[in-house]
Amino acid sequence: MQPWWRDAVIYQIYPRSFADTNGDGIGDLQGILDRLEYLEWLGVDCLWLTPIYPSPMADFSYDVANYTDVEPLFGDLQLFDRLLAEVHERGMRLILDWVPNHTSIKHPWFEQARSSRTNPYRDFYVWRDGAGPGIPPNNWVRAWANEPAWTYDASTDQWYLHCFLPEQPDLNWANPAVRAAMHDTLRFWLDRGVDGFRMDVIHLLAKDPNFTDDPEDLKVLSHVVLNHQDGIHELLKGIRNVVKDYEGDPMMVGEVYLIDAPLVATYYGDGDELDLAFNFEPMFRPWRAEAWREIVNRVIENHDHRDAWPTWVLNNHDAPRIASRLRSAERVAAAAVLLLTLRGTPFLFQGEELGLENAVLGDGEVIDPGFRDGARAPIPWDATPTHGWTSAAWMAFPPDASDKSVAVERNDPQSMLSMYRAVLELRKGSVALKSGDFRWVTSDDRVLAYERVNGQEVLRILINFSHDAVEVSDRGHLLFSTGRDHRDGFDGHLRPDEAVILAV
């Protein structure tokens, strides 16, 4: 039997922008609870909630002030328990976002730590002397700005490390007390019954004990994408021991934000570290058949030899939405077929199934310190002026919010939503698509052609990456197409930007 997370389609919820029920314009857990019917209807298997912990919101809950409670804007623990029970009741699973690399400056640990050099919590964080008066300990640069990853703390005359905002001090995982305390935060949620964790910037946990400068020519990238230390493998094994102690095979998917695919693959260990690691490369590649052929080959190269299971993702809360990147509804639909038919676990981001584009914000409207607001716009639930939000939402809706609302698309068999649902349904009924082998098929250069195979079940997928109509010699029974009714059959004529799934 496959572990559940190999078969699952995972749906990322950004709670703040999902659904609001109490009129403050901010999505909440009750909103998710009220919309579970929709998610079950859509056919996803597991929900991933981005952080729901109490937070001053400098980085929208990725600055955690308490790992074992719920942010009051979103609800409380009791409501969380109800949500989890209802998710399980409906046959779905739920994973939380675990933010182990840094806390908020408002976390009691940090408030203690900064109070004096001898405080017992001092060593929970990374403190260093400056390289000279007013000069940070080394040249590391924080995320999103060409600024030091260090902030000077005048009262104790030392600098603390923060790979992200100064409001997000890095924890010191070299300290066994930190490891123990953070392991306990996992147990807290596992005891409540969660099905696993998405582990935020997990590659940052092990730090260079010598705090060596980053190479000058790479510094522009920020230290976040440069930090890899072999010590991470021990830390991951320790985390895994905690998680896998629980029944139901709780899943660990790591955000390993390194730009080196072979290195990312080592985070699976020998099946004793992460279960899954995100693969972000495809998000930044052009929509061209050669580019995708190369990416898929890289995934095969890097994963197969260690029996590691790949992941596929086109959207998340950190990147511009694919509809804004590709600017063609036909191509977005073809990309969805690709995402859901490659070998691996696919991740969807709320609103992707509606074909939403990024919200367009004016100069004065940017809220996020990492400039990622566009993808985080609220979900339009219907075509009314407030789109199913009880009052004005906390930020602007995406373009064409009425036409792309859930209510409108649910009633339209040609909509992006109906398309996603149909492919998800097909996938659910097909062992070949969920877990079958992958093999390339020779076809036209403009077409990505491959098969998913499970014994007698052979599905052939053809993705036309061009705006041209293409003649192919492939034949088979048409199970799905982004461009035509399947009753029309398949005669070897691929339409511009069309993706088809054939049974052969």
Q: Which 255-274 residues touch ligand GLC, going by CB under 6 A? A: 255
DSSP tally for the chain: helices H, then strands E: 14, 18
Near Ca ion by CB under 5 A, which window of 17-25, 184-192, 366-374, 413-421? 17-25
State yes or no: residue 200 binds ligand GLC (CB under 6 A).
Answer: yes
CA atoms within a 13 Å half-sphere pointing along the CA-CB vector of 394: 24
Q: Which 362-381 residues touch ligand GLC, going by CB under 6 A? A: 370
One of 11, 164, 292, 389 touching ligand GLC (CB under 6 A):
164
Which residue number has the CB closest to Ca ion? Answer: 28
One of 13, 32, 87, 201 touching ligand GLC (CB under 6 A):
201
Q: Residue 256 CB: number of other CB atoms within 10 A?
A: 26
- As a whole number of angstroms, the distance between CA 256 and CA 327 comes to 28
State yes or no: residue 28 binds Ca ion (CB under 5 A).
Answer: yes
Closest CA to 186 of 261, 273, 99: 99
Q: How far is CA 10 from CA 34, 92, 112, 191, in A?
A: 19, 10, 38, 22
Packing angle, helices 77-89 and 176-192, rounded to 10: 60
State yes or no: residue 170 binds ligand GLC (CB under 6 A).
Answer: no
State yes or no: residue 26 binds Ca ion (CB under 5 A).
Answer: yes
Nearer to ligand GLC, 253 or 459 (CB): 253
Q: Locate 90 and state its tokens.
A: 């409906």
- 3-state DSSP assignment of residue 348: strand
Closest CA to 139 of 207, 206, 219: 219
Q: Which secondary structure element, helix H or strand E, spans residue 160, and what is its range? A: strand 158-161
Q: Residues 76-115 vs ligand GLC: string with x where CB under 6 A?
A: -----------------------x----------------
CA dihedral 183, 184, 187, 191 (to 10 degrees): 180
State yes or no: residue 58 binds ligand GLC (CB under 6 A).
Answer: no
Q: Residue 78 CB: number of other CB atoms within 10 A?
A: 9
Q: Locate 363 and state its tokens.
A: 């100069």
Task: Decide which of Ca ion, ligand GLC, none touches 147; Cβ closer than 5 to 8 Å per partner kind.
Answer: none
Which residue number has the CB closest to ligand GLC? Answer: 62
Task: Decide which of ligand GLC, Ca ion, none touches 200; Cβ closer than 5 to 8 Å per partner kind.
Answer: ligand GLC
One of 17, 20, 161, 256 touching Ca ion (CB under 5 A):
20
State yes or no: residue 170 binds Ca ion (CB under 5 A).
Answer: no
One of 69, 318, 382, 457 touching ligand GLC (CB under 6 A):
318
- As a whole number of angstroms, the distance between CA 158 and CA 30 comes to 43
CA atoms within a 13 Å half-sphere pointing along the CA-CB vector of 150: 22
State yes or no: residue 33 binds Ca ion (CB under 5 A).
Answer: no
8-state DSSP, 272: T
CB of residue 486 to ligand GLC, shortest distance in Å: 38
State yes or no: residue 391 binds Ca ion (CB under 5 A).
Answer: no
Nearer to ligand GLC, 257 or 420 (CB): 257
CA 66 centroid distance within chain: 22
CB of residue 259 to ligand GLC, shortest distance in Å: 14
Nearer to ligand GLC, 59 or 275 (CB): 59
Active site residues: 200, 255
Nearer to Ca ion, 15 or 351 (CB): 15
Task: Decide which of Ca ion, ligand GLC, none touches 347; Cβ closer than 5 to 8 Å per partner kind.
Answer: none
Residues 6+ apart with CB under 8 A from 320: 358, 374, 375
Nearer to ligand GLC, 62 or 267 (CB): 62
- As a whole number of angstroms, the distance between CA 467 and CA 243 comes to 47
- As a whole number of angstroms, the distance between CA 365 and CA 304 comes to 45
Q: Which residues bind Ca ion (CB under 5 A)?
A: 20, 22, 24, 26, 28
Q: Which residues bind ligand GLC (CB under 6 A)?
A: 59, 62, 99, 164, 200-201, 255, 317-318, 370
